[in-house]
Amino acid sequence: MSSGTKTKADLVAEFRTAEIMGAARDVFARKGFSETTMDDIAEAAGLAKGTLYLYFKSKRDLYMAALKHGIGELNAHTVQAVDAAQGAREKIRAWVSTRLAYTEENREFCKIYYSELGNLVHPVPTVAEFKKMYMQQVEYMTGVLERAAAGGEIRAGNPRQIALMIYDLTRGSIARQLMGWAKEDRRIQIDAICDFIWSGICP
């Protein structure tokens, strides 16, 4: 058997881990980090609490694992879509549209994710790790904009500040989506955001 081949035990562990994280997402999204207990998650997952501790040392470890998994998945989808798009304008649209679509498909994770964005100014235990993950996304978009500016597709300016504004505009639209305030068709929201951004940076 090659070292890269997964055993039955590996597959069972992967399935159980995904099962636990899925239940944790739902409970954390509903109750928040502070009010959630491992008993709550065990009940939601249909497992004994002791089983959770075989996979995660603490509630915080489980919370960060669920958060990191969701952010990794969101980033992978975003990077794939942006890299495949041709031209700066379409890359920005790919960023916005991918993240709005992901929100519709993964509402429970996104509730956790966007609640953590609100915690960035508070001294909670998850802030340092979350801030690092947040900034990785900003730096990726900064790189996209730097290359676009170097190629003359957009005006020379401050790519990092523009990346932060793109992120914040997208986040605002997602927040309205999560709260049920977004009544417009998603394509209308995407068009509005992208047209606004492009009007400010087009050469």
Pair (52, 74) in one structural domain: no
* Co-location of 120 and 26 in the same domain: no
pLDDT, mean of residues 146-173: 92
Look up residue 96 and give its two tokens: 């916005």
Question: Among residues of the chain, what percentage have pLDDT more than 90?
Answer: 41
Per-residue pLDDT, averaged over 80-102, amounts to 95
**Residue pLDDT, tens place only, 117-149:** 666 555 455 567 777 877 888 999 999 999 999
Give yes or no: residues 12 and 72 share one domain. no
Give a yes or no: residue 61 inside a domain.
Answer: no
Pair of tokens at residue 143: 């790189």
Q: Which of 16, 28, 17 is nearest to 126 (CA)?
A: 28
Closest CA to 42 of 108, 32, 12, 26: 26
Structure tokens at 199: 């009007």
Q: Which two tokens stand for residue 136?
A: 């990785």
Nearest of 172, 163, 37, 177 to residue 118 by alpha carbon: 172
CATH number of the domain encompassing residue 51: 1.10.10.60
4 domain residue, yes or no: yes
Q: What is the pLDDT of residue 119?
A: 60
Residues 91 and 179 in one domain: yes
* Mean pLDDT over each residue of the chain, to the nearest integer: 85
Compare 82 and 14 and report the one with higher pLDDT: 82
Choosing from 14, 37, 56, the residue where a domain stops is 56
**Between 120 and 97, whose confidence is greater?**
97
- How far are the Cα atoms of 70, 78, 88, 169 from residue 153, in angstroms, in the given order? 32, 21, 7, 21
The DSSP call for residue 203 is -
Q: What CATH code is carried by the domain that includes residue 164? A: 1.10.357.10
Co-location of 39 and 87 in the same domain: no
Measure Cα distances from 116 to 29, 54, 64, 128 in Å: 11, 26, 11, 11
Say if residue 76 is in the same domain as residue 134. Answer: yes
- Looking at the structure, tell me whether residues 44 and 91 fall in a common domain: no
Does residue 103 share a domain with residue 40? no
User: Across residues 162-182, what is the average pLDDT?
Assistant: 87
Question: Which structure tokens are listed for 188?
Answer: 């209308």
Instruction: Say if residue 75 is in the same domain as residue 143.
Output: yes
For residues 31 and 85, state if they share a domain.
no
- Same structural domain, 34 and 71: no
Residue-range definition of the domain harbouring residue 74: 67-201
Which element (helix H / strand E) includes 14? helix 8-35
H-helix segments, 85-158? 88-105, 107-118, 127-150
Q: Which two tokens stand for residue 103?
A: 């929100």
Domain total of the chain: 2
